[in-house]
Structures are given as structure tokens and as C-alpha cells.
Amino acid sequence: MKFKNLPAIILSLALVLTLTACGSDPMPEPQPNPIPEFIEIGDVIQFGAFDWRVLDVQDGMALVISEDIIEHRPYHVNVGDITWEHSTIRQYLNGDFYNSFSSAEQERIVETTIINNDNPNHGTAGGNDTTDNIFLLSIDEAEMYFPNDTSRIAVDADGESHWWWLRSPGFSSISAADVIDYGDVNVGGNFADIDNGGVRPALWLNL
């Protein structure tokens, strides 16, 4: 038996086999952005979808904070007594935000014990210590890791300087501390349900 269109048949079979092979292998997951071999405090590196400022380096890990304010949201959505442990911003950072990283990137984020001290001026209880992948800086950390007010100034998506949340409690149990728009640490803080607070996530990154 002769096939008049044998070349066309062969071409069609080759195309089917090619498409089948392509469909059988899943697309490889994007790998994390390469971290520079040597990083120092003050460097800005890219990780995931954001730029991060290096605040500390020790034991093969780096403490980083987002260079800019990534979004605005309340510390806690409801009015009432709240601590970092039970806040909706903590739930968000360790839930939806953490899950926005690829699995390869998540493997580089170090689970960390977070110390939640009482407010140093007002004595407001900081609540239980927690274990987090992503967190906000405390009052003590914001004062320790930044050399001055100017270095704490952060801009939002509109390019405007804006205040941002800290995880420490504020003047009472219904508030949380923050860094005001020109960089001073506001120990008294803001009411936790204010919905335009800037968010600057922090994390320990395995180098």
C-alpha cells in the first residue's frame, strides 16, 4: 500500500509527539534571586518581588526589612485589646504574604522566635513571645538597627513618605507603636484598627 501524503503524515506524527512531550513535564519553579556572596549591613538586595535593606548579618543569616512600604493595612481589623500574637497583621504576614513566595524562597526564610516586650514608656503588655517567618520590627529593634530618624523614613507606592507599624504595643492595649513619616519612633503609637498604616515586613534570610 502506498501513501501519497507520507511526508505530511510523518510531520503530523512528529508534531503530536513534540506536543505530548512538552505537556508531560511541569514547568520548573522559578528559583530565588541570587543573593550576593558577600553582603553587609546597609546593603539593599532583591528577594522575591521586593527590595530589602540588610539590618544585621550573623551566623550565615541576614535580618532584612522591606526597603519601602509595601502596602497599607490595619494592625488589627477589630477595635479592642490586642497583642502581636493575635493581630490580623501577623496572620496576614505569616499567611498570604508568606505564601506569595515560591517554595524555594520559603526555604530560605528562617523561622524565628520573636520577643514581644512590654511598651517601655507606658507598660502596655506585649503578650506572649511567638514563632514567626515574617514579622514587624519592635520599638527596640527600630531604634537599634537604624542609626537615626532619617534612615527610618520609608515611602509608599505613591513615592510619599508615610508612617509604618511596629509590632510593639502602644499607649494602651488597643494601640500599636509605629514610626512616623519623618522617621521618629512613636512609642505611644496609633489605634490598631487604623487602616492606612504602612507595612514594612522583616525576616531572617538564610544566606
Closest C-alpha to 198, from 140, 150, 143, 152 = 152
CB-side neighbour CA atoms (13 Å) of 38: 0
pLDDT digits (tens, 9 = 90+) for 35-49: 776 899 999 999 999
User: What average pLDDT does the structure give for the chain?
Assistant: 89
Give the C-alpha separation, 81 to 72, whole Å: 21
pLDDT at 114 over 80: yes
Q: Residue 10: its pLDDT value, please? A: 45
pLDDT at 11 over 60: no
Q: How many helices (H) and strands (E) does the chain have?
A: 6, 12
Q: Residue 199: its pLDDT value, please? A: 98
Phi, psi of 72 (to 5 degrees): -120, 135
pLDDT digits (tens, 9 = 90+) for 122-174: 999 999 999 999 999 999 999 999 999 999 999 999 999 999 999 999 999 99
Question: What's this model's pTM, rounded to 2 decimal places?
Answer: 0.84
pLDDT at 9 over 50: no
pLDDT at 8 over 90: no
pLDDT at 25 over 90: no
pLDDT at 22 over 80: no
Higher pLDDT, 1 or 128: 128
